[in-house]
Structure 1
């Protein structure tokens, strides 16, 4: 891609850019009827992010690699990322995971079937999951959720993806969604202590919220004590006394009559 190469060559590491490529430097008069599907004489707009410069030891460009070589190069990047993750060098680790994922872009994955696709996913999915772990540590929870979502599109029952998405959602206060993820993860890993711990923490959180709400509503609806008793109306008191006196006199008259 001549136009894309020209645009990227002027970018700096970490830079994001929108690159407008005219059809002459894109897919030309014929266009492309494979992947991606591009009409003839179509201009293209790329949203590009230059992750870094891949000082690869492979000795050849990605486009010249076989499928096995490309997956192997991605796997080596993943291993480098894992080593950096253990050293708590999270930004550097994420850069390695991103480069590994870049070896297996959509255009590459689109062409894979059977065992080759399985081989590629066995490298690609752990990179997304490890990215999610880094992002959670960096408190970038929305991005972590997105990384887990990519894995779950391929494997909807992936326990690690469900667990890490649940962790990120819990941190964002999305407790119902987090519980749903943890419960689904527990279904496939019933003995996992980390999942049980997260569910217990959510239950404790819900209990604390309930107690707070209970105290709040009890204070709102409890009848307030009257600080000063209302003085009784003297007319009522006199009327009650007269009725009582009349009742006693009437009783005496009845007794005399008897």
Structure 2
């Protein structure tokens, strides 16, 4: 087989197996028809697609639809389809194999007879798209106006329980404004307010998603800007408590209580931390007690074996002496 034939076979195999688009293998993409050009839809782009959705080989969705990348849920398009858009080119047709997390989640889609744990497959054809402005193409006024709209959209998604989608919106705001300084005090304050709110909301989303390390990171960002921020300290404490960092969590809740003595939730969390620390210490004591007992038992057995060997050796020595005396 020639090198060129071997390379072609490799490409065909790769195309057949598909491209994994997420770390958890929740979205798999197989290209049926390649697209044109080198441009892809970006976050906020307007796209026109044709969709065919199937579940267990049954067609449940077939339509043309326009939506904004990052806001596909508004048009009843699964999150997984939305996340694949930035990989597609105009004219491309692909199959997207979606795990429930990226399809219809734990609720399923009763109107389509799709259960809460069902995988789905979407055939997606990207007919056309218009890219959104990148952050470097917008002036500060545009960024602030758009940030207000995107914040509302993120809040809407959060209230609906669509935490992945909410995260995307809050991250967009941060990407636009984190490097901005502002021309005057008013602009600087608006920028800081958007950044604080976005990081706080991200922390809350990540707490709901049980991604506690990300929650801590976003709380830290807020505390860098406002070291006494009560919400950031409390949410960081929650995340640390879930990570079994009980002492650090208690320190955060104590700071909240120092700032606001009437915060009952923080007081309750301090008690929870104290209980966890006590429970952890008791568990350690039991673990070490068992460990020391095992060591003691092992040493006792070793001592018995050594004593037995010593006695046996002494008996052998006496027998040898008697034998030698008889031979004389």
Q: TM-score, normalised by structure 1?
A: 0.58
Answer whether contact 2:182 2:191 (CA < 8 A) is retained.
no
Equivalent residue, structure 2, for 1:83 = 156
Alignment RMSD: 3.5
State the Cα deviation string for residues 53-87 of structure 1 (Å, max 9, x = none): 9977xx998745453x4223202211110111011
- For 1:103, what is the secondary structure of its paired residue? helix
Are the structure 2 counterparts of residues 112 and 167 from structure 1 closer, same or farther at C-alpha, using a change threshold of 3 Å?
farther
Equivalent residue in structure 1 for 2:194, among 109, 123, 127: 123
Looking at structure 2, the residues matched to 218 and 103 of structure 1 have their Cα atoms a distance apart, in angstroms, of 56
> Number of paired residues?
177
The 1:139–1:11 alpha-carbon spacing in structure 2 relative to 1, beyond 3 Å, is farther
Q: Check if 1:100 corresponds to 2:173.
A: yes
1:71 aligns with 2:159: no
How far apart, in 1, do the equivalents of 2:165 and 2:192 lie? Answer: 22
Q: Deviations over 1:123-170 (max 9, x none)?
A: 221111101111111121111111111111111111111111111112
> Given that residues 54 and 99 in structure 1 are in contact (C-alpha distance below 8 angstroms), is that contact kept between their aligned partners in structure 2?
no
CA distance in 1, matches of 2:131, 2:167: 16
Report what 1:176 is aligned to. 247
Deviations 1:217-256 (A, max 9, x none): 55647x99xxxxxxxxxxxxxxxxxxxxxxxxxxxxxxxx
- Larger relative strand fraction: 2
**Cα deviation 1:103-126 (Å, max 9, x = unaligned):** 3131x2x34442211111112211
Give the number of the structure with larger relative contact order, counting CA–CA contacts within 8 Å between residues 6 or more apart: 2
- 1-side partners of 2:203 and 2:276: how far apart? 24
Is the alpha carbon distance of 1:215 and 1:152 closer, same or farther for their aligned partners in structure 2, counting shifts above 3 Å?
same
Corresponding position: 1:134 with 2:205: yes
Mapped contact 1:169–1:175 kept (Cα < 8 A): yes
Q: Map 1:200-219; keep pairs closer than 5 Å.
A: 200-216=271-287
Cα distance in 2 for residues equivalent to 1:184 and 1:216: 33
Q: Can you give the 5+ residue segments of structure 1 that lack an aligned partner in the other structure?
A: 1-8, 15-49, 225-258
Using structure 2 for the length normalisation, give the TM-score.
0.47
Offset, 1:99:
1.6
Preserved contact between residue 41 and residue 131 of structure 2 (Cα < 8 Å): no
Tell whether the 8 Å contact from 2:233 to 2:256 is kept in structure 1 after alignment. Answer: yes
Verify the 8 A CA contact 1:179 1:202 in the aligned structure 2.
Answer: yes
Q: 1:104 to 1:66 in 2, by over 3 A?
A: closer
User: Cα offset for 1:102?
Assistant: 2.5
Q: Is there any run of 5+ residues in structure 2 with no aligned partner, and where? A: 1-37, 44-83, 87-128, 298-328
